[in-house]
Chain A
Amino acid sequence: MDKHLQIELSKQGIFTTTLQDLYNWGRKSSVWPMTFGLACCAIEMIATTMARYDLARFGAEVFRASPRQADLMIISGTITKKMAPLVVRLYNQMAEPKYVIAMGSCAISGGPFKQGYNVLKGIDRYIPVDVHIPGCPPRPEALIHSFMTLQKKIEDQQLTGVNRPRHLNQAELSEFPVPTYGEHDLEPPSNPDVWPDFKVIGQ
């Protein structure tokens, strides 16, 4: 439907919409995150849900303690290699449609611990991430901004066609292989389906 016509009609008191808009509006307005904190970023995440920043304004006040009831996983903090398989398993246990926000430097790339031996260098090695927020830790405003970015992403999703989201596409997998604990490192060190092997390093 033409946007201008829709605006003109609304001026005359006639409300028009499409099923897609209605469906996406419903989903974006009640994204329930999972109660899941990994490190210091979790403190900022908790602050975001409290009265001062009030994530409830965006329909995300209900933090679910079970992955079965959650739509959004906020990776809030450092992912140690010991924790990484559990993060992937929790993501697999979530029902579609599901989204991931990688919060803070550690969740994106390993952050200050990138040179270390026991920290995973970014959760997008194993699961697809929808929104990345840099910061160490990001302020609650940044988390709210990432949340609004995610809402925009949901709003723009096409329900049909080749660009339809994963949960409406039978061919796409919703579960990702869980890495196992190896003798020296996680096996495999990354999932090639979601994380291509980059060959450019340094200068």
Chain B
Amino acid sequence: MDLEQIKSDIEGAVPDSTLRIILNGSPSAEHSLLIDNEHAREIAFFLRDHPKYAFDYCSNATGLDWLDTESTQKVKVRKLIEGVEQEVEESQKTLFSGYLESVYHVYSMSKKHGPLVLRLRTINRTDATHLPSLTPVWRSVEFQEREIFDLFGITFDGHPDLRRLLMWDEFTDHPMRRDYVEPDDYEYEPTAHDEVLEKAQRHITQLT
């Protein structure tokens, strides 16, 4: 699977679409294709129906949560210090806002190739968490998108039946998010250690 070739083919077929190849540095080298939200369904239909690719089977859809990160960089800046221009090192902080991601692995059963990894990203992780649903393209992701909606809180626009899948309807949290705080219902831990010990001790201090 030549990702560059697929990328240029999509760009030819779906004008105005913005695509980005995200490289995977691990030995598996399973690179993925980040597609934009506006044209996601169009791109998906193209990949499914194009006779050369014929990605007729989506085996898996999953969610990812990327927290806001702050990175510090040392930058050399020219500054006037006591009337003399000098080169000074300054640390600059850049804030990368977090986002939620849904990842699809698509295969072609007729062409016997795959997987092609598609990614969709939300704008942020708080209020703009909408993504287009790919259930109209691949019916197999219906439950998986419901699971992502349940556990990560991504709302899939155009999904035929978007309800929580594993947790109850009254539940308001999204447990697979990295900043999820689970309910404190610990009473006894026979072999508490590390995180569990911390949790158990927090429980004791709340009780007393």
Chain A residues in the interface with B (C-beta under 8 A): 81-82, 115, 117-118, 121, 181-185, 189-190, 197-203
Nearest chain B CB to A117 CB, angstrom units: 4
The reply to whether B192 and A183 contact each other, CB–CB distance below 8 Å, is no
Q: B186: nearest residue on chain A (CB-CB)?
A: A201
The reply to whether B172 and A184 contact each other, CB–CB distance below 8 Å, is yes
The reply to whether B200 and A117 contact each other, CB–CB distance below 8 Å, is no
Nearest chain A CB to B121 CB, angstrom units: 26
- A203 to B204, alpha carbons, bound, how many Å? 11
Nearest chain B CB to A195 CB, angstrom units: 8
The reply to whether A201 and B175 contact each other, CB–CB distance below 8 Å, is no
Q: B207: nearest residue on chain A (CB-CB)?
A: A199
- A115 to B182, alpha carbons, bound, how many Å? 10
Chain B residues with Cβ below 8 Å from A185 are 183, 185
B127 near A: Cβ within 8 Å?
Answer: no
The reply to whether B187 and A121 contact each other, CB–CB distance below 8 Å, is yes
Chain A residues with Cβ below 8 Å from B180 are 117
Render B155-186 as a binary contact track against A, CB cut-off 8 A, 1 for contact: 00000000000111111110100001011011
Chain A residues with Cβ below 8 Å from B173 are 183-184
Chain B interface mostly: loop
Q: Looking at the complex, which one of B172, B175, B187, B192 makes contact with A118 (CB distance below 8 Å)?
A: B175
The reply to whether B182 and A117 contact each other, CB–CB distance below 8 Å, is yes
Given contacts A118-B166, A202-B201, 9 further A-B contacts (CB under 8 A): A81-B168, A82-B166, A118-B167, A118-B175, A184-B183, A197-B207, A200-B188, A201-B192, A201-B200
Q: Given contacts A184-B183, A185-B183, are A201 and B204 in contact (CB under 8 A)? A: yes
- A197 to B185, alpha carbons, bound, how many Å? 11
The reply to whether B171 and A183 contact each other, CB–CB distance below 8 Å, is yes
Q: Looking at the complex, which one of B170, B182, B203, B207 makes contact with A181 (CB distance below 8 Å)?
A: B170
Q: Looking at the complex, which one of B168, B171, B185, B200 makes contact with A121 (CB distance below 8 Å)?
A: B185
- A145 to B208, alpha carbons, bound, how many Å? 41
Q: Looking at the complex, which one of A117, A201, A203 makes contact with B187 (CB distance below 8 Å)?
A: A201
**Residues of chain B in range 77-100 having any CB-CB distance to chain A below 8 Å:** none
Nearest chain A CB to B22 CB, angstrom units: 30
Chain A residues with Cβ below 8 Å from B189 are 201-202
